[in-house]
Amino acid sequence: MNKTVALVGKCILHRNDAPFADPNVDIWSVSELLSRKLIPRADAMFEMHLREEWDRPDAHKDPNYQTWIKQPHPFPIYMNAQYPDVPACEPYPFWAVAQCLQTMWWGEQRVKHFNTCTMPFMIALALLDGYKRIELYGFEMSVGKYIKQRDSGFFWMGVCAGRGVELVLPASSRLVDVPLYGYTPLEERE
């Protein structure tokens, strides 16, 4: 295992800036990027949607996705359950990953904070696997339904920082491109 993993999302803004040619960096992608040949390689793929979502013919831009995912692949496809018709399926180790948050409570329940998107699942597994550096490409979460995904993404980015894991975003990323509150004059924030 390499010490660095690059997580690659669907946002075209900087998705292709990931270090695909660097054999010292593991590449993890989200669903459909490989089936549509939008990225050249991945060492793992994540399909965290419920089966009724990913197995619908109209669920993806790739009309062959359902056929592609059910073929053998040389990398694991992390999924929310074991699917015998997906040869590369690797059930996501949810409960092992959830243990990463032993000390955070919401009332009587431990916080899991994986709502609304795949990126937090990817970051949490990278932490569990012991990566020392996590790079994010193709994740912006700045429009439409993706705005609701930012909180969970930021939460797990903060977990990285709290654990001393280096988190790297491309210079073109707008995820953290915000004015510094309390130090930036109002006229510069607009």
Q: Which of 16, 8, 14 is nearest to 45 (CA)?
A: 8
pLDDT computed for residue 152 by the predictor: 76
Average pLDDT of the residues in 61-78: 93
Cβ-based neighbour number of residue 32 at 10 Å: 19
- Concatenate the DSSP letters of all residues of 148-166 into one string: GGHHHHHHHHHHHHHTT-E
Q: If pLDDT is split at 50, 70 and 90, which confidence band does 177 have?
A: low
Better-scored residue on pLDDT, 35 or 171: 35
The whole-number pLDDT of residue 189 equals 57
Q: What was the pLDDT predicted at 108?
A: 74
**Per-residue pLDDT tens for 82-115?**
999 999 999 999 888 877 666 666 677 666 566 6
User: Using 50, 70 and 90 to split pLDDT, how confident is the model at 137?
Assistant: very high
Predicted local confidence at residue 95, as pLDDT: 82
Enumerate the domain spans of the chain: 4-189
DSSP 94-133: HHHHHGGGTT-EETTEE----TT-SHHHHHHHHHHTT-SE
Q: What's the pLDDT at 18?
A: 97
Please say if the pLDDT value at position 181 is more than 90. Answer: no
Q: Are 39 and 45 in contact (CB under 8 A)?
A: no
Q: How confident is the model at residue 16 (pLDDT cuts 50, 70, 90)?
A: very high
- Determine the Cα–Cα distance for residues 69 and 71; give it in Å rounded to an integer: 5
Q: 151 pLDDT band (50/70/90 cuts)?
A: confident
